[in-house]
Amino acid sequence: MQKALLFVDKISTFVGHAFSFLIVALALHVTWEVFSRYVLDNPHDWAFDVTIQMYGTLFMMAGAYTLAKNGHVRGDMLYGFFPPRTQATIDLVLYVVFFLPGVTALTYAGYFFAEESWRINEHSTTTYGGPPLYPFKTVIPIAGAFVLMQGIVEMIRCVICLKRGRWPSREEDVEEVDVDKLKEELRLEGGDGDRPGAAIERREQGS
């Protein structure tokens, strides 16, 4: 079971990493449009629509990745003090009551939005000759499906936590530096309990 959960985590992570490069494309697109508009005096009507679509795609396709890393905003003023089983109970109830109906509806309705958009060859009406909308609307059900898949994994994790009393592991990713842990490692390495930075100073003197 744990291998299956981590496999889904890897899929969500891969998708999130792949679509994260859209932020680079978005920055280049905006930079070029500003240069073209103010230096070359050649603005493009479709630039605004493309900007929205690129950012919207990035936002939606990063949903499953953020869920896999437990990175969505949560009001944990009290949550963080609860034991794992209490946390799992709260999460499971919220997943069943709010997450499943909402994301299922998003995926279901998004499919018909995309299907209709393709059928009528829908284009943006924000500007004259706007870009097509059907590729962008197709992202809605795809992103919803990824989030739904990852949400089911999170629900399974809640059940496992209720049984074992601890949270199962997740797919590892880039994490922030744990300053306290780093200081402790340096203290142990340097053998100087009163000065956490002694090891660093000895390294500098030795070099």
Please tell me what DSSP assigns to residue 131.
P
Q: Other C-beta atoms within 10 Å of 156: how many?
A: 17
* Its pTM surpasses 0.75: yes
pLDDT score at 108 = 96
Contact 130, 123 (CB under 8 A): yes
Compute the C-alpha angle 32/37/38, nearest 5°: 105
* pLDDT mean over 199-205: 51
Question: Is 117's pLDDT higher than 70?
Answer: yes
pLDDT tens-digit series, residues 98-109? 999 999 999 999
Share of the chain above pLDDT 70, in %: 84
Contact 44, 30 (CB under 8 A): no
Taking the C-alpha atoms of residue 202 and residue 207, their distance in angstroms, rounded to an integer, is 9
169 falls in which pLDDT band (50, 70, 90)? Answer: confident
pLDDT score at 157 = 94
pLDDT tens-digit series, residues 55-73? 999 999 999 999 999 888 7
